Amino acid sequence: MAENTRKQKHLKPEMQNKKVRLTAADHTFNVIVNVFMVFILIVILIPVWSTITLSFRPNDYLGSNLEGMFLPPWEWSTDAYTALLGNDGFLDAFINSFKILIGGVFCALVLTIPMAYVLSVQSLPGKKIINLVVIIPYVFNVGMIPTYLLVRDVGLMNHLAAVFIPGAISTYNCIIMRQFFVGIPNELKESARIDGCSELQVLFKIILPLSKAIVMTIGLYYGVSFWNDFFNAMLYLSDNQPLPILLRNILLASGMNEYVEVNAFGNAPVSAIKAASVFMSAIPMIVAYPFIQKYFTKGTLLGSVKG
C-alpha cells in the first residue's frame, strides 16, 4: 500500500508536466484564426487612424486622404482641437452630454435594479402579469407622438432630463439583470430573510455585492445609449443642446457652406474639425471601457445563461 502511494506521488509531477500535443490540423486552425483576427483588427484600426490623422491635418494640406494617413507627426496641426476647446459652444455641449450621461446612468440603474430584483422573486404574487406588463412595451412601442405629448405635459421640455427619463428603463437590460438575479442561490436570500432582513436589505446587502459584473455591464449599456442619444435631444431640447446635436450642426453647416464652421471655430479646416469632434466625443467611452471590460463579458454571459 505504501509502495503504491510512493509510485503515485512519483508519477504525479510527471502527469502535471505533460502537455497536449497539437496536431497539424490544430496548428492550421490556430494560424487561420490568428490571421482572421489580425485582419479584423486592421479593418477596425484603419478608420480610427484615418479619423485621428484627419483631425490633425493642417489647413494648407493639399494631398489626398490616403497620403494624409501617412502624414508625419511633425507636420500635424492642433488647430482643430484648439478651435474646439476654445469655442464655448463645444464646451457647453460637452458638459451637457456629460450631465446627461451621469444623470441618465444613475436614474436608469436606480429604476432598473429594483425592477429586475422584483421580477426575479419566484414567490412574487402576480408575477406572470407583471412580466407581461414589462414585455408588452418592448414588443409594441407607443410611438413618438404620445411620448412627446407626455414629456410636454409633465413639464420636461427643454430640460436635460427629457433626454433620459423616457428611456430610463430598458426592457432588454431589465431582463438580462433579472436573469442574473435569478441565478443567485435562493439559500442566500432565505438565510438573510430568516435573520430578519427586509427585502431592501436583501437587495443591498446580499444581491448587489454579488452583482457587480451585471451592474457595471448594464451601466455601460445605458451610458453608451445616453451619450450618443441624438433623436430625443433634437425633439425635446431647444437650448442646452448636447454634443450629438452640435456634431449634426457641424455636418449640416459644412455640407451647405464649407466656410461657415471655419469662421465659427477658427482657422482649422472643416474636415479636421469634424474629425476632432468625433474623436473627442468618443473619449469618455474610451476612458471608461478599460475599467469596465473585465466585468463586461462576465456580466453579459451570466446574465443571459443563468436561470
pLDDT digits (tens, 9 = 90+) for 218-271: 888 888 888 888 888 888 888 778 888 877 777 676 555 544 444 555 566 777
CA atoms of 27 and 59, how far apart (whole Å): 50
Rounded to 5°, angle at Cα 184 from 183 and 185: 110
Rounded to 5°, angle at Cα 279 from 273 and 281: 100
Residue 306: the pLDDT is 46
Q: Which residue has the cell 467611452?
A: 285
CA atoms of 123 and 85, how far apart (whole Å): 55
CA atoms of 27 and 176, how far apart (whole Å): 37
pTM of the predicted model over 0.85? no
Residue 263: the pLDDT is 52
Q: Tell whether the torsion through CA atoms of 45, 50, 55 and 61 is positive or negative.
A: positive
Does the pLDDT value for residue 38 go beyond 90?
yes
Does the pLDDT value for residue 151 go beyond 80?
yes
Which domains are present in the chain? 90-242+280-305 (1.10.3720.10)
Residue 1: the pLDDT is 46
Greater model confidence, 8 or 292:
292
Does the pLDDT value for residue 2 go beyond 70?
no
Provide the angle, in degrees to the nearest 10, between the axes of the packed helices 243-256 and 270-281: 160
Provide the angle, in degrees to the nearest 10, between the axes of the packed helices 88-120 and 171-183: 50
Does the pLDDT value for residue 39 go beyond 90?
yes
Residue 251: the pLDDT is 67
Residue 35: the pLDDT is 92
Query: Per mean pLDDT, which of 15-24, 78-87, 153-162 is the most reliable?
Result: 153-162
Residue 259: the pLDDT is 46
Q: What are the grid coordinates assigned to 144, written together? A: 413618438
C-beta separation of 40 from 20 below 8 A: no
Contacts of 56 (CB under 8 A, 6+ apart): 71, 73, 76, 77, 78, 80, 272
